[in-house]
């Protein structure tokens, strides 16, 4: 049982006061350690460790819940901008092995570019940006195999 399952089922302490949305499939609640005012988590009631482990019905229900809650977060905080973040697995920074979507409202000047800059730096160092679009045939070989594998799995 994940921490989120325990919170949803037992609702210890003031957890019930943190809940901002719930339906038969999902629960949304304010993050206990928010990165910004209004930082909210949207969680499926059923535990799945990674996003791709969810069945399509749960994934669709989670998407609908995120959409509803994001609109409410925007209205409540006055922020039109926000980050949606999902970490999948320990190596990505996931601390609770239960799918959850972070909705993090953003105001001018509060966004640290350090994450985005470090990701871009890694991309620049490990995968140089081409000077032009790929030529015909560029997706042959390993890149084409990778693309085809992803494409086939997403069908």
Evaluated on CA atoms 99, 72, 31, 13, the torsion sign reads: negative
DSSP H or E segment with residue 57: helix 56-77
* 98 counts as catalytic: no
Under 8 Å between Cβ of 4 and 47: yes
Report which DSSP code applies to 98: S
Q: Which of 26, 25, 118, 102 is nearest to 70 (CA)?
A: 102
Catalytic residue among 39, 98, 100, 102: 100
Evaluated on CA atoms 88, 94, 100, 103, the torsion sign reads: negative
Q: Which residues are catalytic?
A: 100
């Amino acid at each position: 049982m994940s921490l989120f399952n325990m919170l949803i089922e037992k609702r210890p302490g003031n957890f019930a006061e943190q809940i901002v949305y719930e339906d038969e499939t999902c629960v949304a609640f304010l993050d206990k350690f928010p990165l910004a005012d209004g930082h909210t988590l949207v969680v499926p009631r059923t535990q799945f460790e990674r996003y791709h482990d969810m069945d399509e019905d749960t994934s669709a229900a989670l998407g609908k819940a995120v959409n509803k809650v994001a609109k409410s977060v925007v209205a409540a905080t006055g922020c039109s901008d926000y980050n949606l973040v999902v970490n999948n697995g320990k190596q990505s920074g996931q601390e609770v092995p239960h799918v959850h979507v972070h909705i993090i409202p953003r105001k001018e000047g509060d966004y640290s570019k350090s994450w985005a800059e470090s990701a871009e730096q890694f991309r620049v160092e490990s995968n140089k940006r081409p000077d032009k679009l790929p030529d015909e045939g560029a997706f042959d070989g390993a890149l084409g195999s990778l693309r085809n594998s992803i494409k086939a799995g997403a069908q």
